[in-house]
Chains A and B, each alone.
Chain A
Amino acid sequence: MTSALSPVTLSVEDQIAVVTFDAPGPVNALNSGLATHFQSIFERIDRDDAIRAAILVSGKTDTWIAGADIDELAAVSSASEAEAISRAGHRLLDQLAALRKPVVAAIHGACLGGGLEVALACHWRVLSDHPKSTCALPEVQLGLLPGAGGTQRLPRLIGLQAALDLILTGRTVRPRKAKTLGLVDDLVHPAILRRVALQRARELAERTRTRVARPSGAAELLLEDNPIGRAIVFRKARESVMAKTRGAYPAPLAALEVIAEGYAHGVARGLDAEARAFGRLAMTPQCRELVFLFYATTALKKEGGSVTAVAPRPVRRLGIVGGGFMGAGVASVAVQQDLLVRVRDASSERITGMLRTVRDVLDARRRRKRLTRQEHEQAMARVSGGTDLTGFRRADLIIEAVYEDLAVKHAVLRDIEAVAPDAVFASNTSTIPIARIAEAASRPERVVGMHFFSPVDKMPLLEVIAAPATSDETVATAVACGRTLGKTVIVVRDGPGFYVNRVLAPYLNAAGALLDEGASVPAVDAALIAWGFPVGPFTLLDEVGLDVAGKSGAVLAEAFGERMLAASSLARLIQSGRLGRKGGRGFYTYDDGTRGAVDSGVYALTAVGESRQAFSDDDVQMRCVLPMLNEAVRCLEDGIIRAPRVGDVGAVFGIGFPPFRGGPFRTIDALGAAECVRQLLALDARFPGRYTPADMLRRMAEHGERFYPATGKPL
C-alpha cells in the first residue's frame, strides 16, 4: 500500500497510525495526483483492525501543508476542470471526515489554504506554539475561494463572523489566536506535538475524551444562531468587502454567497456551490492576474538581481545619512530585523525626531500585537544616532537619504568614503541618476541606488538601481538587504526617474492636463479609483508632496522632452507654495492630517479658470493610464527593466497599479497591443507629442505579439 517512494506513508505505533505527508520538493503542496495516495491510506485506516486512530504529521521541518499546488491551478483551462479539482478535494476530505476512527492533525509550520482545509476535516487539531506555525485560508488573495470544503467547515468550527474574517481577507492566524478562535484544540510546544497528538488520538478512540462544542458568546448567539442575525452578519460583511474592493474582486463576494448557501440549504448544497464558484473564479481575469503576480514576485525572490550569480555581502550594520521621514522609515524597518542601525543627521533635534519616528512605527506594531514588549525594546536598542560619522566606520551598507541635491549627495559620498571606504553606498534618490552621484566616488563600483517608497514601513517595493559602474556584488548586496527589510525588490537600470517614477510621470501629467481643460479634482481621482487605483492621481501628488513631484518632473522633462512636460496647472500649483498633505494644502486641504475638500484656490490656477466641466470616466482613465502603459514599454525598450514582469511587479507594488489587472504589461496584453496603439494614436492626434506609441508597441501590434503567453503558466 505504502512504499518508501510514496509522498504519504503510514506506520503504526501502538495501535495508532502515524500518517506522514512528505511530498517531493521543499514544501508539502496538494495536487490531484496525491488523492489516490491519501485515499488508500484512509481506506487502510478504516479497514485495519490493528489501527484504532491516526495522526497526520508533516515530513517537512517547518511546513505542515502549504496549500494547493498553484501550477496545477494555473494550467487549468476551463471552469469545469477547476470545478472538478474542487470536487475531488471534497470527496477526499469527506472520506477523511467520515472515518469512524479519529484522525488528529499534528500541525507544525505553515498550515495554509488546502492544508488548513485538510486539518479542518480531521477530528482534532493540535498546533505547535511556534512562530513558524501559521494558519490561513489565503485563496481570496489569488482571486479564488477555499475549494476543499473550507467555506463550509470553518464557520461551523469557529463561528460565522470569525470564519468570514479569515476567508474574506485571507489573513494569517498566529498560534495563540488559533487556539482562542477554536481553530485548533490544543496548543503545545513543538517538542511534544507528536506525543500529545498520539495521546489525543488514543483518548478519542477510547472515548475518554470527546469534542466539546466551543462556547459561544452572547453576541454570537444572537447574530449567528438564527437566519435574521446571520442576514445582518452577511450584509455587514458584504458592505465591508465592497468598501475595500469597490467590487473589483469577485472572489470574496462569491465566498460570501457560498457560505450563505450552506447556512440556508445545508452543507451538501454549500459544498456544491463552493465547487461551482471555485470553477467560475478560476477562470476570472482577476484570478489569472493575481496568480500571475504570485508567480512574478516568487520569481523575483529567487533571482539575485543580476545576470551573474554573485553572493551578496552580509549586512549586519546599516548606516543611514539623513534621519528625515525616509531615513527614519528605513531605520524603522531595519531595527525589526537583526540589523544595527546608526543614523547621522545635522542636529541632535533631528536625531531625536528620527528616534521618535522609529518609535512611532514600533509603537503602532506593538498596539497591533505584532511585536512583544521585549521585541519592541530590542528593536529600539538597535538604533542610535549622532551628528558625526561615529559608528559608520564598520557599516556594511550606508544609505543616504539627504536633500535631493547633487552637490549635497556628493559631499555625503565623499564623507562616507573617507570613513568607510569598503561599505556599499546606496542613494535613496528618486530623481538623480546614480551615475551622476557616483561621479564623486573613488570606488563607483560600490555606489548603487535604493529607491524606497514612502512611508517605508508600509510600502512593499524597493527599486534597486544599478549604474553602469555598479558591481554585481553591490547590486546583490542591495537586493539582499532590501529583502531582509521585507521588501519586494526590483532591479532596474540607471536612468532619469528609474522605472517607477518614470511611468508615473506621464500618468500624473495627463491628470494635470485634464485639470487644465476643466476637469474637477475629485472627478479625476474618482475615475482612476474606479479603474482600480487605491487613490487618485491628485491625492497621490498630495501624499508624495508637490515639491518632490515637481523636482522629479523637471528631471524627467529635461530628459524626455514633450511627453514628460508637466501640465501648466501642476507647475503653477507648485509655484503657489502648495506642498500637499505635509503642508496642509495641495489639491485638497488638510486639517491635522485629515483630508478635507478641494482647495478652492486650485481651479483659479488652471488655464480655463474656475469653470469646471464633466469628462467621461473612460476618457479620463484612458488618457491617464495609456501613457503609463506606453512609458512602461519604453522602459523595457530602453533596458531600464529587463523583463515585463519586473515592470508589472514594480507598478503594482510601487504605484498601486490595480493588482487585478496584473500590471502595465498584463494590461496591454489584455487590451491587445493593436488596440493600445490605436487608442494612443487617436490621443496623439488630439495632444501631439504626448501619446506617441513606443516603437516596440507598434511592432507588437503589427505582428500581433504579446508580452506573456496567452494560456497556461504565465512565467
Chain B
Amino acid sequence: MSSLGVPGRRVAIVAGVRTPFARAGTALKDYSALELARHAVAALMQRTELDGASVDLVVFGTVLPSVLTPNPAREVALLPHFPRDVQAFTVGRACASANQAITDAADQILLGHATVAIAGGTESLSQVPILHSRRMSDTLVAASKAKSLGERLSTLARVRPRDLVPVTPAISEPSTGETMGQSADTMAKLNGITRDAQDAFALRSHQRAATGLADGRLTAEITPITVPPRHTEALAIDNGVRADSSLAQLAALKPVFDRAYGSVTAGNASPLTDGASAVLLMREDVAQALGYTPLAFIRSYAYAAIDPAEQLLQAPVFAAPRALARAGLTLADMDLVDMHEAFAAQVLSNLHGFASTAWAERAGLDAPLGEIDPDRLNVLGGSLSIGHPFGATGGRIVTTLANELARRNAAFGLLTVCAAGGMGHAMVLERA
C-alpha cells in the first residue's frame, strides 16, 4: 500500500492556523462560530500570503450550526481575501467535523476537482442555539400567518408560562439518551480505568500543553484575537491550560456524571470551548509551483463506527487499524500519535483497545496494534487541557501533528478522533 494520490499529486498540508481555544463563557463568548472561522482563515491567508484566487474550495465543519448561517463555509469564502466565486460547503460529523472537512477537501483534490483548498472547523459553545418549545414555535408560526391584528393577538394569547421554557441542546446521544460524560464513565468501568490514571493523564495533558505554549510550538499555530466588547486586549493562548495544575487538585474534584461510583470529573474531561481552526491543503505539485514547502502529506485516512449503546467513544480502535492498513504501515512506524482527548477515560480506553486481543479480534486483526510509546503520544497535550470546540478540534490536531512531524523531521504520524454516535476517525500523515 502507499499514499493517497499518485506521486507528485498527493495532498499536502501546507499550513494551519487556529484561534486560541477559550473556555466557553470567557474571552471569546461574544464571537459567533462564523466570526471565529473567518478570523482563523483571514490569518491563514495573511500568514501564507496565498493569492485568494488560487483557492478552489472552502470546507468547514461544525457541530451546532447557527440557523442564521447554515453554511458558514460560504460566509468564510466571502472574506475579502478571496474572489467572490470560491464555492464552499459545511459538513457535520460530530467531534470529527473538521476532520471530515479536511478529508472531503482532500478527496476533491485527489479527484482533480480542486488543487488548493481550505478546510477547517469552528464552534462556539458560548453561543449555542437555544430553541423555543414545540408549542411556542407552533404558536409563533401561527401568529405570523395571522391575517389581522386581532387574530394575531388571540393566537398569542394562547401562550402559557410552560411554553416559554426554552429547549437547550444537550450533549446526549439521541439513540440512547446517555450524555457523553455518562458514556465515558461507563467506558472507565468497562475497561478498568481508574480515577488516578485519568487524573494523571489529564495532568500530563496540561503540563505538555503548557510547555508547548511556553516554548512557542503551540503559540505559533495560534492567531491572537482581540477580546470584545472593548477590544483593548487580545487573547493569544488557550485559556484553559493550567501550568500549575496538580494531582492533588485534580483528585479533589467530585465526579460529575455518576456521583456515587463515577470517576469522570471536570478535571479529567475536556471543557466546553470556543474556537476555530483552518488548514491549507494543496496538491503536491501545485504547492511546489506556488512556492510552498508542505509540512506533511495525507497518506491515508479512515472512519469507523460502533454501537453507541456499547462504548460510545471507542471507535478509534477500529478506525486506526483501517487507516494504518490503508497506509501499509504499522503502529510501530508512527513517530508521533495525536489522539483527541474528549475524556481521559476515553483516551485510556482507546489505548487499552489498541493493545487488547479481544478488540483486535473485533476489528478483524490478527494481532493487536500494540502499545503506544507515551513519549510519542500527544506530545503537546490535547483537548483535556487545550479545550475542545467540537467542530474545530480536528483542524487543531492535524496542524499540530504536521508541524511537530516537520519540526522533528519525523517520517509518520497517526491521529485519531472519537465522535458522538459511536464514530471514530484516524489519519496517517507522512513527511517524505
Produce 1/0 per residue, A349-367, CB < 8 A to B. Answer: 0011101100100000000
Q: With a CB–CB cut-off of 8 A, which chain B residues contact A352?
A: 224, 226, 231-234
- The distance in angstroms between the C-alpha atoms of A390 and B47, with both chains bound, is 6
Complex contact A384–B79 (CB within 8 A) = no
Given A348-B236, A355-B231, check contact A382 B226 (CB 8 Å). Answer: no
- Taking CB atoms and an 8 Å cut-off, the chain A residues in 338-354 that contact chain B are 338, 340, 342, 348, 351-353
Could you say which residues of chain A place their CB within 8 Å of the CB of B79?
378, 381
Q: Judge if B154 is at the interface, Cβ distance under 8 Å.
A: no
Complex Cα distance, B78 from A377, in Å, reads 11
A391 CB within 8 Å of chain B? yes
A318 CB to closest chain B CB (Å) equals 12
Given contacts A342-B46, A391-B46, contact A378 B234 (CB under 8 A): no
Top 8 A-B pairs ranked by shortest CB distance? A394-B49, A352-B234, A384-B46, A391-B46, A381-B42, A378-B80, A382-B80, A356-B231
* A and B contact pairs by CB, cutoff 8 A, 20 listed: A317-B49, A340-B80, A340-B81, A348-B234, A348-B236, A351-B224, A351-B234, A352-B232, A352-B234, A355-B226, A355-B231, A356-B226, A356-B231, A359-B226, A359-B231, A377-B38, A381-B81, A382-B81, A394-B49, A394-B51
Nearest CB of chain B from residue A676's CB, rounded to whole Å? 51
Contacts A348-B234, A356-B231, A359-B231 known; A338 to B224 CB distance under 8 Å? no
CB distance from B51 to the nearest CB of A (A): 8
The answer to the question of B223 belonging to the interface, with a C-beta cut-off of 8 Å to chain A, is yes
Could you tell me which A residues sit within 8 Å of B by CB distance? 317, 338, 340, 342, 348, 351-353, 355-356, 359, 377-378, 381-382, 384, 390-391, 393-394
User: Does chain A have a CB within 8 A of B345?
Assistant: no
Shortest C-beta distance, B220 to chain A (Å), equals 10
B43 close to A (CB within 8 Å): yes
Chain A residues with CB under 8 Å of B39's CB are 381
A residues within 8 A CB of B38?
377, 381
Decide if B42 touches A393 in the complex (CB within 8 Å).
Answer: no
Which of B46, B226, B231 gathers the greatest number of chain A CB atoms within 10 Å? B46
Give the docked Cα–Cα distance between A384 and B81 (Å).
12
B: residues with CB less than 8 A from A are 35, 38-39, 42-43, 45-47, 49, 51, 79-81, 223-224, 226, 231-234, 236
Q: Which residues of A contact B224 (CB under 8 A)?
A: 348, 351-352
A355 to B79, CA, bound (A): 18
Q: A391-B46, A391-B49 are in contact. Are A381 and B231 (CB under 8 A)?
A: no
Residue numbers in A under 8 Å from B49 (CB-CB): 317, 391, 393-394
Instruction: Name the CB-closest residue of B to A394.
Output: B49
Residues of B within 8 A of A351 (CB): 224, 234
Q: Please, which residues of chain B bring their CB within 8 A of the CB of A356?
A: 226, 231-232
In Å, the complex CA distance between A461 and B231 comes to 30
B80–A381 contact, CB under 8 A?
yes
Determine the chain B residues whose CB is within 8 A of the CB of A391 once the complex forms. 46-47, 49
A378 CA to B78 CA in the complex, in Å?
9
User: What residues on A are CB-neighbors of B81 within 8 Å?
Assistant: 340, 381-382
| A355 partner residues in chain B, CB cutoff 8 A | 226, 231, 234
Whether the pair A340, B46 counts as a contact (CB closer than 8 A) is yes
A355→B46 CA distance, assembly (Å): 15
**Structural contact, A338 and B226, CB atoms closer than 8 A:** no
Taking CB atoms, residues of chain A closer than 8 Å to B51 are 394
A7 and B315 CA atoms in complex are apart in Å by 78
Specify which chain A residues have a CB less than 8 angstroms from the CB of B233 in the assembled complex.
352
Which residue in chain B gives the minimum CB-CB distance to A378?
Answer: B80
Closest to B235 in A: A352
> In this complex, what residue of B is CB-closest to A353?
B232
Cα separation A351 to B234 with both chains bound (whole Å): 9
With the chains together, A378 CA to B81 CA distance in Å? 9
A514 to chain B, nearest CB (A): 42
Question: Which A residue's beta carbon lies closest to that of B50?
Answer: A394
Task: Name the residue on A nearest B81 (C-beta).
Answer: A340
- Tell me, in angstroms, the Cα distance from A357 to B51 when the chains sit together: 27
Beyond A317-B49, A393-B49, 6 extra complex contacts between A and B, CB < 8 Å: A340-B46, A340-B80, A352-B232, A352-B233, A355-B226, A356-B226
**B residues less than 8 Å from A382 (CB atoms):** 42, 80-81
